[in-house]
Amino acid sequence: MPGSDYISTHINEIRAGFPILQTKVYDKPLVYFDNAATSQKPQVVIDALVNYYTTLNSNVHRGVHFLSQQATTAFEDVREKIRRFINARHRHEIIYTRGCTESINLVAGTWGRANIRTGDEILITTFEHHSNLVPWQMLCEEKGARLIVCPLLPDGSLDMDALERLMGPRTRLLSVTHISNSLGTINPVHEITRLAHQKGIVVLIDGAQALSHETVDVQEIGCDFYAFSAHKVYGPMGIGGLYGREELLNAMPPYQGGGEMIKRVTFEKTFYNELPFKFEAGTPNVGDVIAFGAALDYVSDLGIEAIARRENYLLNYATEALKKDRHIRIVGEAPRKASLISFNIDQIHSFDAGTIIDRFGIAVRTGTHCTQPLMDSLGLSGTIRASFAFYNTIEEIDRLIEAIGKVEELFL
């Protein structure tokens, strides 16, 4: 693993390994500050995907021929990489899905349908992405359960006192984001899980934003489920996974029916496969799984702690720069934040500001960021969101500040 200052001293070399960062937008070098939506992919990840389709393309678990055996080995090796990356106890506790959204829907559709009853409560927070809200709404409507929402504090951190009070005798599940995709707040998931488990509440963590920013140890957190996506941690889109404790997964019914998730089938009855295959019906996304493994190798080689230090440096610089502008209001200033800033400019709609900023070759996200109830609670129509990755630079932040100045000249 490189030393702690490797990223800063080799930033040009690192950036050269991301082909899209060499792109020009409106004849200006691309500045990509939309990493919370999806991160860019290093060449090694792209190469891994291309290599699968050019040298290994075959279905897995279903053939004795050479290509099938090689593809199966590569496919299952990634499951072990994921297990190590999040420190799960067993590799069969890792279920491949299309991403975080499908992982949450899997839990809602299996554990939820089997365990939630009329009058039960599911507890979430005001932070939640629609993917960690809508599935629970649907389940509550189906089962006659109640969805309870924990509020935030004025600084954008979770109201932990309120969360503990809301954990009532009918609370069956707590589903909470690890890192807010809109405010950047890092939730104390270890403490949240501890409090919930004291009251016998099952805990799901939405880890979509977390894997790329800090060390995730599901055994240390103690959660029952942890959902994640590859595309936010420098891997491909359309692939991700769910960690679940073995005893819970064994007790849950399958999510979908078809090939792979079966052990024996007759016209009268089907006997389901063992973990993890019970939840992986049909032909899997083999190429993207292998490329996900390459992404995890890339992150591990750089070191997640070194990445976190680099991103925190960028976050602090950008925060101080934005605070110098009297027209800017930063939304969300919790003590612990990931490398993401939501902000608004006086009297300027976020969409209008983002459109102008784009003309300077700078990609930021505008709107509600799939957290419309959160924005409603803040009395906002949306925000401008700049989210940073380790490959971003101080010079790029300076370009954003300059572009914001041009927006203000036009509208204020």
List pLDDT tens digits, range 110-165.
999 999 999 999 999 999 999 999 999 999 999 999 999 999 999 999 999 999 99
Final residue before a domain boundary, out of 300, 328, 354: 300
Residues 221 and 321 in one domain: no
| pLDDT of 329 | 98
Residues 248 and 329 in one domain: no
Answer yes or no: is pLDDT of 3 > 70: no
| pLDDT of 338 | 98
Helix spans in 160-204 (H): 160-166, 189-198
Residues 104 and 193 in one domain: yes
**Candidate list 100, 150, 223, 370, residue with the active-site label:** 370
Average pLDDT, rounded, for the chain: 97
Residue 117 maps to a domain = yes
Residues 242 and 347 in one domain: no
Residue 123 maps to a domain = yes
Determine if the peptide bond prior to 276 is cis (ω within 30°).
yes
Residues 15 and 117 in one domain: no
Residues 292 and 308 in one domain: no
b/e per residue 57-79 (b: at least 16 CB within 10 A): ebbbbeeeeeebeebbebbeebb
| pLDDT of 138 | 98
Q: Which residues contact 238 (CB under 8 A, 6 or more apart)?
A: 98, 99, 231, 285, 288
140 assigned to active site? no
Q: Give the number of domains in the chain.
A: 2
| pLDDT of 242 | 98
- Could you give the percent of the chain with pLDDT greater than 90? 96
Residues 206 and 59 in one domain: yes
The partner residues of 206 in beta bridges, in order of sequence, read 177, 227
Residues 296 and 368 in one domain: no
Closest CA to 35 of 278, 338, 279: 338
| pLDDT of 1 | 60
**For 264-291, what is the mean pLDDT?**
95
Final residue before a domain boundary, out of 265, 285, 300: 300
- What range defines the domain where residue 329 resides? 6-32+303-411
| pLDDT of 215 | 97
Using CA atoms, how far apart are residues 189 and 211, in angstroms rounded to an integer?
Answer: 14
Total residue length of the chain: 412
| pLDDT of 63 | 81
Using CA atoms, how far apart are residues 54 and 200, in angstroms rounded to an integer?
Answer: 50
Residues 120 and 261 in one domain: yes
Q: CATH no. for residue 167?
A: 3.40.640.10
**For 4-15, what is the mean pLDDT?**
92
Answer yes or no: is pLDDT of 4 > 60: no
Residue 42 maps to a domain = no
